[in-house]
Chain A
């Protein structure tokens, strides 16, 4: 296990998530793509902490990434609820106009 190998795995996770975020039409599936991207970031940050800067400051960065993931999750579910209420659908194609 080296820094390079961990970063390569993180890059793979990020790219897979990017594919999902770009290609999916269902809001929840797009959220899954974004979460996979953040998953890759989390792994990369953990690797940087372990290999290059094993101080508490590095762990604080991981905590901030986890917080960002929480915000994405909460806002995603709220937007999905809003779109479903107005359009009776959870597809992005039905949410091109969010106003009323």
Chain B
């Protein structure tokens, strides 16, 4: 039963991944990516990592919602109706990706992997929580700092009028150019 589920989810994940770059609209590509992530999240649940599998699914559903808002905001139309095929160096990209797949597959098949070692805890989620609040507290602290830095960097990039627009490149005197907010 596990094998059937695994292969079904794997086929769904890979086919949906390919579909992302085959369909002719960004909205359909977004749905396909969400399906691929849901399949991988379900596979993680299948191997016993319930919490991280659920987080993966929830996070990607939220991201797809943000992506939909982005498309409506910047495209000003129903993105599902707008055909698109905007690629460059398609043959080179295919050649590189196929070569990488062959290389990775060769490595996977050539390495004599050991048989399964160890048994997971009865409740891996509880153990993960204890580990994060114990031995790996530093990881949690590092991730927290990175997340705060990401929020700040995102705001700096996305702000309509930042300090460079108000003061110019030297950041000492206010720019007189109307476009830069001079005089206001």
Q: Report which A residues bind B (CB closer than 8 A).
A: 1, 3-9, 11-20, 22-26, 28-29, 32-33, 35-36, 39, 42-43, 46-47, 49-57, 59-60, 62-64, 66-67, 69-71, 73-75, 77-82, 84-85, 90-91, 93
Contact = CB atoms under 8 A, between A and B. Distances in A.
Contacts of B154: 74-75, 77-78
Q: Give the 8 A-B CB pairs with smallest separation, nearest first.
A: A56-B131, A23-B93, A15-B101, A54-B120, A11-B104, A19-B97, A78-B157, A22-B93
Contacts of A71: 146-147, 150
Contacts, number: 224
A18 B59 CA distance: 21
Chain A interface SS verdict (over half): helix
B108 A77 contact: no
Contacts of A11: 101, 104-105, 108
Given A78-B157, A91-B86, A36 B150 contact: no
A23 B14 contact: no
Interface residues of B, number: 80
B30 to A, nearest CB: 8
Nearest to B114: A52
A54 B96 CA distance: 34
A56 B40 contact: no
Contact of B160 (A23, A25, A85): A85
Given A24-B86, A28-B70, A46-B52, A15 B113 contact: no
